[in-house]
Amino acid sequence: MGLCVGLMAVAVTAASANWGVDPAVRKWPSWPYPTTCSIRTFDPIAIFSSPATAELGSTPGERALRRFLRHPLIPWVPRHNWRLLYERGRAAEFVSAPLSNRPAQAPEGLSFVRRAGHWKWLGSGPCLPASVVEGHPAVYWDLPENHPKLTPETTEIEVNLGPGECASGRSQNERAHPVFTELEGRLLLTIWLTPVHGFQNCLGLSEPPLKVELPGPLGDRTLYDGGTYPPHWAAGRPRY
């Protein structure tokens, strides 16, 4: 009996490990931009401060999530620790906990829609909350591996841009708009791209790093990519 109780306690602890505030919110308790995982935007601080217990909720979308998790069509999704991103009318979207700022470790997102009186699973995919600047989702960036070390005197950097929308081979560097924000003594560089319109193919394009001027010497500030929440430390290991 003692062994069974112990195993049950471990299982309960594992299932509820991320039910509180996400660790990212403790480090980044404010954020200058709304974020998005697909189409709709949301306040990341409000969402990721809430308990990750949506699979226990009572709204129509939360009940649909609970039914789906009993027998998921995609077996790798977590069974516990889900947050509600939004639920309006006939649509709901959820994200698993915890957050990550690396694409390969992004939490799972699940979407549901109500059709003909029944809630159905619409789709899934990684959720790496992208900052939305002037109505456009940001692209993430990294310093090249051979980039000179950042110092207090640094006034210019070069960055490799992550993938943006399909644009038929149009240059991302030429469409890039860097935006700087200082947040609690840390400097965020957020880059969004001028959107393209009409049908586009996903032709790849190899470009050199984009040169970006800082708004003055870096000083004692730490530079982060503000394109995702949580942000990525600029001098950290590349995410690609």
Within 8 A by CB and 6+ apart from 127, the residues are: 37, 85, 95, 96, 106, 107, 108, 109
Provide the pLDDT for residue 19. 67
Cα(45)–Cα(217) distance, rounded to whole angstroms? 30
The larger pLDDT score, comparing residue 17 to residue 150, is at: 150
DSSP 189-203: EEEEE----S-----
- From residue 132, give the alpha-carbon distance in Å to each of 69, 190, 212: 30, 9, 20
In single-letter form, the type of residue at position 197 comes to: H
Residue 79 has pLDDT above 80, yes or no: yes
Domain edges within the chain: 18-128, 132-233
pLDDT surpassing 90 at residue 182: yes
What pLDDT, on a 0 to 100 scale, did the predictor assign at position 192? 97
pTM: 0.85
Distance of CA 137 to the CA centre of its chain: 11
pLDDT, tens only, 129-161: 999 999 999 999 999 999 999 999 999 999 999
Q: How confident is the model at residue 204 (pLDDT cuts 50, 70, 90)?
A: confident
Output the average pLDDT for the chain: 89
Strands, DSSP E only, in 11-62?
35-36, 41-42
Whether pLDDT at 75 is above 90 = no
Going by pLDDT thresholds of 50, 70 and 90, the confidence category of residue 205 is confident
